[in-house]
């Protein structure tokens, strides 16, 4: 599934699936947007969801907003790479755009929960790099959910009461980043992606590249 393109240095490599998860409000949407804006070669996976659109969200950019019947049809037609129920709504990753991006040599960024991360890992272990974002404190988490000003008090209470359960999955992730300062957290997440892109086994074009270098040295 993950036929690679070329890295910035011209050596062919496998695309990777970069997953950010966190309890709601810890900052994964913010960090995802920063990554997409600042890291060439990275595409966002736009999930389908049955949840209502928030003010400021755009259909097709933040999510594909679908009704329950459409979501069910996508599941039955095997159009979702993974899917899960979170906060009484269904969320899933459309398969086709991910496969297209990876085979075009792009990396794909996922903002999905621990259930989706487990499913991706089962399907493509070697290509998944997962990062769990933690808030610095419960008070900060609550402040951020309120400051986003997009959910009712009732929804915020529900998200706060789910946070501890979601956080219990932290040890299933490859990396943990505590989001104190957003620029620092971004720099950390960016370093992870940069380092993972350089992993030897992802740079499938290295054998040819080194042979070329050796040829130049002998010639
Ligand atoms: N498994 C899975 N989880 C998703 C998907 N899209 C979003 N989520 C997760 O669903 C949860 C709720 O997302 P959302 O309603 O946008 O609220 P947020 O937590 O404030 O971003 C978050 O943990 C997301 O990471 C998806 O396609 N698959
Ligand atoms: N390091 C940070 N310090 C203060 N506020 C932050 C930080 N990171 C994110 N935020 C704010 O917290 C709110 C929740 O962040 P968001 O990225 O929507 O979280 P998530 O996608 O994990 O639910 C947003 O209003 C965002 O601007």
**Angle CA(18)–CA(21)–CA(27) in degrees, nearest 5?**
110
Is 93 close to ligand 1, i.e. is its CB under 6 Å away?
Answer: yes
Instruction: Judge whether 23 is annotated as a binding position.
Output: yes
pTM above 0.90, yes or no: yes
ipTM score of complex? 0.96
Terminal CA-to-CA distance of the chain, rounded, Å?
38
Mean pLDDT for the stretch of residues 80-107: 93
Q: Which of 19, 30, 185 for mutating ligand 2's site (highest number of atoms within 8 Å of CB)?
A: 30
Q: Give the residue whose CA is nearest to atom 3 of ligand 1.
A: 112
d(Cα 132, Cα 168) in Å, to the nearest integer? 11
pLDDT (0 to 100) of residue 161: 87
Is 147 close to ligand 2, i.e. is its CB under 6 Å away?
Answer: yes
Mean pLDDT for the stretch of residues 92-111: 93
Nearest ligand, CA of residue 113? Answer: 1
Lowest mean pLDDT among 7-16, 25-34, 168-177: 7-16
d(Cα 90, Cα 76) in Å, to the nearest integer? 14
State the pLDDT confidence band at 8, using cuts at 50, 70 and 90.
low
What residue segments make up the domains of the chain, in order of their start? 5-45+107-209
Chain centre distance of CA 43: 10
CATH fold of the domain at 5-45+107-209: Rossmann fold (3.40.50)
Taking the centre of ligand 1 as the mean of its atom positions, its distance from the CA of residue 142, in whole angstroms, is 17
* pLDDT tens digits along 54-66: 888 999 999 999 9
Nearest ligand, CA of residue 181? Answer: 2
Nearest ligand, CA of residue 166? Answer: 1
Per the prediction, the chain carries an average pLDDT of: 92
Is 57 close to ligand 2, i.e. is its CB under 6 Å away?
Answer: no
């Amino acid at each position: 599934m993950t036929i690679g393109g070329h890295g910035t240095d011209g050596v062919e490599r496998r695309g990777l699936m970069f997953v950010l998860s966190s309890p709601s409000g810890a900052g994964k949407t913010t960090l995802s947007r920063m990554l997409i804006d600042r890291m060439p070669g990275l595409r966002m996976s736009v999930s389908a969801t049955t949840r209502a659109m928030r003010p400021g969200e755009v259909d097709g950019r933040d999510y594909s907003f679908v009704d329950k019947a459409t979501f069910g049809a996508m599941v039955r037609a095997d159009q979702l790479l993974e899917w899960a129920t979170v906060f009484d709504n269904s969320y899933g990753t459309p398969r086709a755009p991910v496969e297209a991006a990876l085979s075009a040599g792009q990396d794909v960024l996922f903002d999905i929960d621990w259930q989706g991360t487990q499913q991706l890992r089962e399907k493509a272990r070697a290509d998944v790099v997962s990062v769990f974002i933690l808030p610095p404190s419960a008070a900060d988490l609550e402040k951020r959910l309120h400051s986003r000003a997009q959910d009712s008090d009732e929804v915020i209470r529900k998200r706060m009461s789910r946070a501890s359960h979601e956080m219990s999955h932290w040890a299933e992730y490859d990396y943990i980043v505590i989001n104190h300062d957003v620029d620092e957290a971004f720099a950390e997440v960016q370093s992870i992606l940069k380092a993972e892109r350089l992993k030897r086994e992802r740079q499938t074009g290295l054998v040819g590249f080194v042979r070329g270098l050796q040829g130049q040295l002998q010639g």
